[in-house]
Amino acid sequence: MIKNVIFDFGCVLVYWSQHNLYDTHFGSKEKTDWFVDNICTWEWNNQTDLGKSFAESVAEKVAEYPEWETEIRMYWERWEDMLNGEVPGMKEWICELKNAGYKVYGLSNWSHETFPMVKDKYEAFSMMDGIVMSGEELIAKPDLRIYKILLERYGLKAEECVFIDDRKENIEAGEQIGIRGILFENCEQAKQAFHVLNQKSNEYQKL
The answer to whether 68 and 102 are in contact (CB under 8 A) is no
Confidence of residue 200 (pLDDT cuts 50, 70, 90): confident
Mean of pLDDT values over 189-202: 89
Residue % of the chain over a pLDDT of 70 = 97
Beta-bridged to residue 105, according to DSSP, are 6, 130
Number of helical H runs and strand E runs in the chain: 12, 7
Mark 35-46 as b/e (b = at least 16 C-beta within 10 Å). bbeebbeeebee
* pLDDT at residue 114, as a whole number: 96
Q: What pTM was estimated for this model as a whole?
A: 0.93
Query: How does the average pLDDT of the chain come out, rounded?
Result: 95
Q: Which of 6, 10, 5, 182 is nearest to 87 (CA)?
A: 10
* pLDDT at residue 166, as a whole number: 97
Strand bridging mode 14-16 / 83-86: antiparallel
pLDDT tens figures, 46-78 = 999 999 999 999 999 999 999 999 999 999 999
The 8-class DSSP code of residue 87 comes to P
pLDDT tens figures, 3-36 = 999 999 999 999 999 999 999 999 999 999 999 9
* pLDDT at residue 199, as a whole number: 85
* pLDDT at residue 207, as a whole number: 44
For the beta carbon of residue 87, count every other beta carbon within 10 angstroms.
Answer: 22
